[in-house]
Structure 1
Amino acid sequence: MNEKRQLLVKTALHLFYDNGINSVGINEVLKVSGVAKKTLYHHFQSKEQLILAVLEERHNIFIEWLTLKLKASTSPQDLIERLFTALKSWFDSDEPMLGHFRGCFFINSAAEFGQPNNEVALYCCKHKHDVRNIIEQFLPGAPPTLVDTICLMKEGAITTAYVTGQHDVTKQCIKMLTQVINKPL
């Protein structure tokens, strides 16, 4: 990827994640990145194209992080513990790949773009689908209801941790999901 393009994407990701997409203008991205407006528009014809590139960047980072955290899973119980322990570490801003915790960038972004069929919302939906597929990949033979339950609990944990600051919600998730796997749905 072109160095200037990558700088724009990384700068926009940082600013959008910290402040919200709609509250950050192109001029702020340019100022912080030090990239000229002409260069920005050479790579992105609109702010929406930049947003989609930023979503893709964060998606790739998150998928790589999640895969690293789950790849050594040996059982559903092990996956649950690895997943929610990793989430707790992220909530505490102790995951260098993900940086500080400001909630889920995809939930936040989808909320800023109220129409469910716009490209931003559709990309956020794709991200959630891909995350589910990663979790399912490390649960071979698991019933879809278990995968769905884990994913819903993961989303709830992220939202709860961000909105309430209760980062230890992950312990409750592990406990509840352990009960689920011991009493299959």
Structure 2
Amino acid sequence: MSKKREQLVTTALDLFYYQGVHEIGINEILKVSGVAKRTMYSHFESKDALIVATLQKRHTNFMSWLKDVLKDARSDQQVINLLFDGLESWFTNKSEVLGKFRGCFFINTAAEFSAIQSDIVKYCSFHKTEVRALIEQKLTCNSSTLLDAICIMKEGAITTVHMTGEGSDVCEKSKRILTSLIEPKP
């Protein structure tokens, strides 16, 4: 990737993530990045194409982070603990890879677009599918119920912390609830 293209994507991702896709115009991205409009349009045919590039960059960063978070998981309990401990780290701004927490870039971006079949919304859906697949690879059981519960709790935790700003016990509660699904019943 060329230096100017990377500069545009990095700048746009930062601005979109912290302020919203529709709040940020091309001129703001150009001003902050220091890249000329002509250069931008030589790399991206439209703002939507730039948005997709930012989604791709965030996806790559997030998947790398998630793989690292789950790398030592050897049991379903460890998947749950490591995932929600990783989320807690992100929520409390201790994850350098993901930066300061402002919710899920994919949920936030998809929410700004009403056209479900747009490339932008499709990419957001692709990201969620890939995250689910990675979690599924790490689980030792073959339970779609547990996988569904983990993914729903993960999304709920992200949204709850983003909307309320309160995250002190969301991850601990999630771990307790999910653990109850894998503990043997008397």
Q: Same fold (TM over 0.5)?
A: yes
Which residue is 1:178 aligned to?
Answer: 179
Deviation at 1:166, TM superposition (A): 1.8
Deviation at 1:183, TM superposition (A): 5.2
Q: What amino acid does structure 2 have at the position aligned with 1:165?
A: G
| Alpha-carbon RMSD | 1.0
Q: What amino acid does structure 2 have at the position aligned with 1:63?
A: M
Residue-by-residue CA offset, 1:44-97 (whole Å, 9 max, x unaligned): 010000000000000000000000000110100011000000001100011000
Residue-by-residue CA offset, 1:114-150 (whole Å, 9 max, x unaligned): 2211111110000000000010011144311111110
Which residue is 2:163 aligned to?
Answer: 163
Which residue is 1:62 aligned to?
Answer: 62
Which residue is 1:143 aligned to?
Answer: 143
Which residue is 1:49 aligned to?
Answer: 49
- List gaps (5 residues or longer) in structure 2: none
Equivalenced residue count is 184
What is the alpha-carbon distance in structure 2 between the residues aligned to residue 16 and residue 144 of structure 1? Answer: 34
Matches within 5 A, 1:51-130: 51-130=51-130
Q: Which runs of 4+ in 1 moved over 6 A?
A: none
- Cα gap change, 1:110/1:183 in structure 2, threshold over 3 Å: closer, same or farther? farther
Residue aligned with 1:135, SS: helix
What is the alpha-carbon distance in structure 1 between the residues aligned to residue 15 and residue 175 of structure 2? Answer: 33
What is the alpha-carbon distance in structure 1 between the residues aligned to residue 22 and residue 142 of structure 2? Answer: 40
What is the alpha-carbon distance in structure 2 between the residues aligned to residue 83 and residue 137 of structure 1? Answer: 13
- 39-48 or 111-120, which moves further after superposition? 111-120
- Cα gap change, 1:174/1:33 in structure 2, threshold over 3 Å: closer, same or farther? same
Q: What amino acid does structure 2 have at the position aligned with 1:111?
A: A
Q: What amino acid does structure 2 have at the position aligned with 1:181?
A: I
Q: What amino acid does structure 2 have at the position aligned with 1:120?
A: I
- 148-157 or 110-119, which moves further after superposition? 110-119
Residue-by-residue CA offset, 1:129-184 (whole Å, 9 max, x unaligned): 00000100111443111111100000000000110112120010000000011158
CA contact (8 A) 2:80 2:175 kept: yes
User: Structure 1 vs Structure 2: percent identity of aligned residues?
Assistant: 51
What is the alpha-carbon distance in structure 1 between the residues aligned to residue 151 and residue 172 of structure 2? Answer: 15
Which residue is 1:33 aligned to?
Answer: 33
Residue aligned with 1:178, SS: helix
Provide the TM-score with structure 1 as the length reference: 0.97
Residue-by-residue CA offset, 1:21-60 (whole Å, 9 max, x unaligned): 0000000000000000010000001000000000000000
